[in-house]
Amino acid sequence: RTQKGPVHSPVDKHPLLSQRTINYRLLLAFQVGVVECRNLCELVVSRDGQCLLDPYVKLQLLPEREHRVKTRIVRSTTSPKYDEQFTMYGVTSEQITLSTLHFQVVAFDRYSRDTVVGECVYRLADAELMLYQEMRVELALQPRASDCVAARGELLLSLTYQPAFNNLTVVVLKARGLSRNESGTAGEATSW
């Protein structure tokens, strides 16, 4: 025999037991704070002797490279103070013990590429982290390992092509580490 209409159970008649839904959110999170940097090298000094370094810190969790964050830019200082907290969600305790924090201190440049001032890594397996425990660690910056910097130096160029006039314009935006030739001059330009 089939019955039409709602089926009632003893639980349905009890007002406290009749709510069958539960709402919850489980957040697995890992927090990292960037406090400050001290005594960064001065990349550019203005005519009046002031530092023109505008540093910020990039942070990522290796080896996944999924969690990438960066601090705000602090203008004209070699000892910036950040006091910023970053929360990385979805990181399990097993992932934390297998991960490494990679910090890069970067000098912001409005008109060209940013320059890496230094970097450091911190293996979380060495940290002996416990749940809800705060640790402060001071890390020494190492100069960035240059991937393939030529012995003659580096040039940052801007290329503009105008097809209507069949014109290619090349502008040198920045040059550094250029070697001198034996006569003491910077060398001669070669055009093709």
Tokens of 117: 């001032």
Domain that holds residue 35: 29-126
In a domain, 165, yes or no: no
pLDDT digits (tens, 9 = 90+) for 149-164: 445 678 888 889 899 9
DSSP string, 37-106: --SPPPS-B-TTS-B---EEEEEEEETT---EEE-----S-SS-EEEEEEEEET--HHHHHH-EEEEEEE
Q: What is the pLDDT of residue 2?
A: 53
In a domain, 3, yes or no: no
Position 57 pLDDT exceeds 60 = yes
In a domain, 158, yes or no: no
In a domain, 114, yes or no: yes
φ, ψ dihedrals at 177, nearest 5°: 65, 25
Q: Return the H-helix or E-strand segment holding 158.
A: strand 154-162
Q: What is the pLDDT of residue 176?
A: 80
Q: What is the pLDDT of residue 45?
A: 56
Number of domain units in the chain: 1
Tokens of 19: 């709510």
Q: In this structure, what CATH number is given to the domain that contains residue 106?
A: 2.60.40.150
Q: What is the pLDDT of residue 58?
A: 95
In a domain, 153, yes or no: no
In a domain, 41, yes or no: yes
- The sign of the CA dihedral 172, 178, 179, 180 is positive
CA angle at 190 for the pair 186 and 192, rounded to the nearest 5°: 165
In a domain, 183, yes or no: no
If you average pLDDT over every residue of the chain, what do you get? 76
φ, ψ dihedrals at 124, nearest 5°: -75, -20
Tell me, what amino acid is at 130? M
Q: What's the whole-model pTM score?
A: 0.61
Tokens of 118: 């230094």
In a domain, 15, yes or no: no
